[in-house]
Structure 1
């Protein structure tokens, strides 16, 4: 099979894998080619997507490859979410998202201990918007669900990895006295201000 055809199929697989994404090993197995060929194909795709007239890019998150939108276009996706049919997130949801972003993986109970209030509704809001996802279960009594940020979280805030999160002040610990939303959304607060309805 020619490299151009392999590249086209790999691109299709990246698209078809959706939010779950696909690993290098899966691509090797499906296309029945060695790792070196897949790496070459991905570099070719990354070069193609690097052009200004392309709106997509390949992102690697936790060892999984995703086809996603470019961070530099994130303001337009925020505008899409702010259209009349899309409600802005409440302060409670923003605070919960900040806690999860910095403390992940984290359980709902642990979120509530930090916030000092019940957090069922904010967590459900974030899940419905695909900004967070279940990442497993904690090895403790009851095996509670662990939550972490999703690929859509990175896309929404124009990040390519969690390493790009703005750092917390060295002297600040996230606890009930810390305004996590202010810390986390320092660079995004113009877009994210909303009324606390949740």
Structure 2
């Protein structure tokens, strides 16, 4: 298969799937090794950027997806309905942060950290496709385990969880102290 045909095949697959496709599947499609497929995709990304195309290829861990460039949003609005905007409240952001950094994590673990029930927050994050059920823990009661989704990576502009900012230990201690103080106040009420 010649290079132009390989690029066309990758483009067709990414376009048709509409979601991310793992690199091993793309390599299989073009009958090449994964590293060669990554190189071809990198060249395609560069070429599309130089040409000012309306779409780009975005990498998520070991997968790629064709996406509309962010600066094309205003043009999409002229022909599409305004997409529903989700508001991430402070509660949702706190819950999402815990899940992102501690995953896989149970609701009980989240509640221990936050000090309050998290059912609503977790359900909203699942509804927004930022969090998903990863399975069940091998423990009494077999509680559900939660983790972040590819949509989470896309929404926060990171390729993988390793790209998340490092937790500042001093800030972490401050948060723990604040949480303990809040818990004490709640008990005294």
Paired residues of 1:114 and 1:176 also in contact (CA < 8 A): no
1:122 aligns with 2:142: no
Q: How many residues align structurally?
A: 169
- Which structure has the larger Rg over C-alpha atoms? 2
Note the 1:34-183 alignment, pairs <5 A. 34-35=33-34, 37-51=36-50, 53-54=52-53, 55-61=55-61, 63-68=62-67, 73=70, 85-171=84-170, 172-173=172-173, 175=176, 177-178=178-179
**Any stretches of 5+ residues in structure 1 without a counterpart?**
179-198
Return the alpha-carbon distance in structure 2 between the equivalents of residues 14 and 126 of structure 1.
26
Counterpart position of 2:6: 6
Q: Which runs of 4+ in 1 moved over 6 A?
A: none
- TM-score normalised by structure 1 residue count: 0.68
- TM-score normalised by structure 2 residue count: 0.71
Residues 155, 60 of structure 1: alpha-carbon distance in 2 compared, 3 angstrom cutoff: closer
Paired residues of 1:58 and 1:66 also in contact (CA < 8 A): yes
Deviation, structure 1 residue 59 = 0.7
Paired residues of 1:130 and 1:150 also in contact (CA < 8 A): yes
RMSD (CA atoms): 3.1
**Any stretches of 5+ residues in structure 2 without a counterpart?**
180-189
- Give per-residue Cα distances to partners, 1:111-162, cap 9 Å, x unaligned: 1221122211111111111112233332323333322222222222233333
Which structure exhibits the higher relative contact order, with contacts defined as CA atoms closer than 8 Å and separated by 6 or more residues? 1
Partner SS state of residue 157, structure 2: coil
Residues 35, 98 of structure 1: alpha-carbon distance in 2 compared, 3 angstrom cutoff: closer
